[in-house]
Amino acid sequence: MKGVTISSFADPDGKLLASIVSGHGRNEIHIIPLAEDVKQLQSKIEFEAEEKIRCVRWIAKEPQTVEKPKGRKRKAHGEVSNGDMPTDYCYLAILLKTGEILVYSPLSKEYTTKMSNESPLSCICYGGSTSTIMGFDPANSILKKYNLFDSRPLGSSTIKLENDIDFIETINDRELILASSNLHFYNEEGGVLMFTIPAPKSHQNQVRQLVRSKKNDKVVAVSRQNDSTINMISLEGEGKITATLRCSGSVKSLALTECSGMEILLAVTDKGKVEIFRDPFNQVSKKQIKSNASLDSGSNFGFNCLVVQHGGEYRAVYFDNFQIRVQSIDLGDLTKVEGTILVTFEGDEDTDRKVSKGAVKAASKKVVSDSSKEVATIEPPVPTQPEPVESLEDPLEDKDVELLNTLPEIEDSHELYTQVVSHIEDQTVLGLLLVKNAALSRQTVYLLSDEEAAALFKSTSLLLCSQQKSSGDLGQWLKWLLLCKGSLLAKDSECVGLLKLLRSTLAGNLKLLPSLLSLQGRLSLLESQLKLREEMMHIEAEKEEKQQEKDANESVDGELMDGENDVPNNDIIENGLDEEET
């Protein structure tokens, strides 16, 4: 969905996923379990619109065994009962742009610890030892350490660095990296800045993620914001960039796995693809290195994140325009794959239509997800690059205006009902039909069955939230669906969730209303001024035209008067000459 930003972060064990959803009035974090032993920990944390999230980090806690009383019921605000409470999990630390750190336990929707700072922190990370958090105050160049359950800092140290440091990551218990566009290697135990690795001249964006090699923690992979390159950096000696990997799009997240003893780096790009790099930490090259293979969803929804779990299991994370979904996939031996691998989900109705016509269809392996009963299919490598996939997020783009104009207006509600039901899963055609024939919305809604009404409500809600063009026409359909089928929709949990999404979208749009009204007033004033200027110019033009006509008439009259005086004189002279001659 356009205007909605999704960022996902998995805990070190790959058991829990924290996904930030922001935009269209939504400002929330979803905690999604990825393992069976923590499936009770699924929850959602909602924030106010002014509480902007800067970053989140998973913090490991000290292992402990606590006896829990039996028979306690689920609490009203969504906490799980103590009788079924898992003990092996991480805490989630959330840094707000105000500088506050909120520590959440997956067992509760209320924070367990709140750490306030007079000067806002720009970044936080896991402190290297259990139950510790590291944070950096750029205004005062102070590195702070916190305990997970204490609101006061345990200690602090001063580091003279630039003011735009907004990334921090620990290498081990004693060493850490602080970064803006440049990387600074710092030894906390000695309080010494070891060295600085400047950013390449053509890649000055801020550092966003760092992944360490499992075989050599002195070699790291670094990605930057809105950048399609990944720098392989050696931290030995004075530090240097050993190689640069090139992706087909901007890198959103990185994951590391191992197959047949070889480390493999997986980079998720903003195009919804996963680029595969084999043995990247041993690469040494001055030229940029392209990926060995790639994964393509081949559907409406691209990859948002790829989680690697213990045992070589993979979880694909994607956003279906409403909620975050997690799907288990089996990638096999990544050391042997080449080209593009199509990873499709049978739950996506438009998959067959969106896959390239040149794709080779052959026997494929099917894997049933643990978290949902959807099935993922992995197609064999595609010999040719797939055709560009057009997004369905905004079905009423300018490119569809011509198609909208060619659609005939349907005058019979029964015929419109047939067309709507037959295209109810195709958002592109459905959006055009609803906009073109909004006048028949009331009569058509009365003809819908309960299942058809629920399906149409879901599609219409997603259309309204994903784009703003022709929202008035789509609103007519939504109005009659709510009036005629409101009691039915209230019993459907997914429809209720969509109603919440619509409410948050409308609330977000209402906040823009004063600015839009002010802008409309200014535009109206400008329009009236332009009209007045045009009228004045028209009046001036008329005056000038009349003056030119007047001047032309006066010049003609003057010439005529001169001609009348000359004619008699000539006649007299001619007559006089004739008389003398006579």
- Residue 514, judged by CB atoms within 10 A of its CB (0-12, 13-18, 19+), counts as exposed
Helices (H), 437-492: 441-447, 450-466, 471-489
Q: Comparing 76-85, 124-133, 238-247, 500-509, which segment has the lowest mean pLDDT?
A: 76-85
Please tell me which residue, 1 or 370, carries the higher pLDDT value. 1
**Are 404 and 483 part of one and the same domain?**
yes
pLDDT in tens, 138-172: 989 999 999 988 888 888 888 888 888 999 999 88
Confirm if 272 and 303 have CB atoms less than 8 A apart. yes
* In the predicted structure, residue 296 carries a pLDDT above the cut 80: yes
SS3 209: strand
- CA 59 – CA 37 distance, rounded (Å): 19
Beta-carbon contacts of 481 under 8 Å, excluding residues fewer than 6 positions away, are 445, 453, 456, 457, 460, 489
**Are 415 and 472 part of one and the same domain?**
yes
**Residues 406-413: contacts with CB under 8 Å, at least 24 apart:** 407/432, 407/433, 407/436, 409/436, 409/437, 410/436, 410/437, 410/440, 411/440, 413/440, 413/443, 413/444, 413/447
Task: Read off φ and ψ for residue 207, nearest 5 degrees.
Answer: -70, 135
Residue-level pLDDT at 96: 92
**Are 480 and 544 part of one and the same domain?**
no
Residue 565 lies in a domain: yes
**Are 582 and 533 part of one and the same domain?**
yes
Residue-level pLDDT at 177: 92
Residue 376 lies in a domain: no
- CA 423 – CA 537 distance, rounded (Å): 54
Mean pLDDT score across all residues of the chain: 77
Q: Which of 428, 459, 491 is the last residue of a domain?
A: 491
**Are 487 and 552 part of one and the same domain?**
no
- C-beta atoms surrounding 169 within 10 Å: 22
pLDDT exceeding 90 applies to what percent of the chain? 20
SS3 39: helix
Residue-level pLDDT at 222: 95
**Are 485 and 542 part of one and the same domain?**
no
pTM: predicted TM-score of the whole model, two decimal places? 0.62
pLDDT exceeding 70 applies to what percent of the chain? 77
SS (H, E, C) 298-339: CCCCCCCEEEECCCCCEEEEEECCCCEEEEEECCCCCCCCCE
**Taking residues 521-550, what's their average pLDDT?**
84
Please tell me which residue, 146 or 469, carries the higher pLDDT value. 146
Residue 77 lies in a domain: no
Number of domains in the chain: 2
**Are 406 and 483 part of one and the same domain?**
yes
Residue 174 lies in a domain: no
pLDDT in tens, 515-531: 777 777 778 888 888 88
Q: Which of 424, 456, 491 is the last residue of a domain?
A: 491
**Are 444 and 476 part of one and the same domain?**
yes
Residue 525 lies in a domain: yes
Beta-carbon contacts of 567 under 8 Å, excluding residues fewer than 6 positions away, are none
**Are 404 and 473 part of one and the same domain?**
yes
Q: Which of 491, 525, 544 is the last residue of a domain?
A: 491
SS3 355: coil
**Are 562 and 520 part of one and the same domain?**
yes
Residue-level pLDDT at 395: 41
Kindly state the tokens that stand for 133. Answer: 């958090």
**Taking residues 228-256, what's their average pLDDT?**
92
- pLDDT confidence of 324, banded at 50, 70, 90? confident
SS3 297: coil
Boundaries of domain holding 530? 515-582
- CA 415 – CA 434 distance, rounded (Å): 13
Q: Comparing 179-193, 242-256, 353-367, 442-456, which segment has the lowest mean pLDDT?
A: 353-367
- CA 180 – CA 168 distance, rounded (Å): 9
**Are 404 and 487 part of one and the same domain?**
yes
* In the predicted structure, residue 105 carries a pLDDT above the cut 80: yes
* In the predicted structure, residue 44 carries a pLDDT above the cut 50: yes
Residue 52 lies in a domain: no
**Are 454 and 520 part of one and the same domain?**
no
Residue-level pLDDT at 351: 36
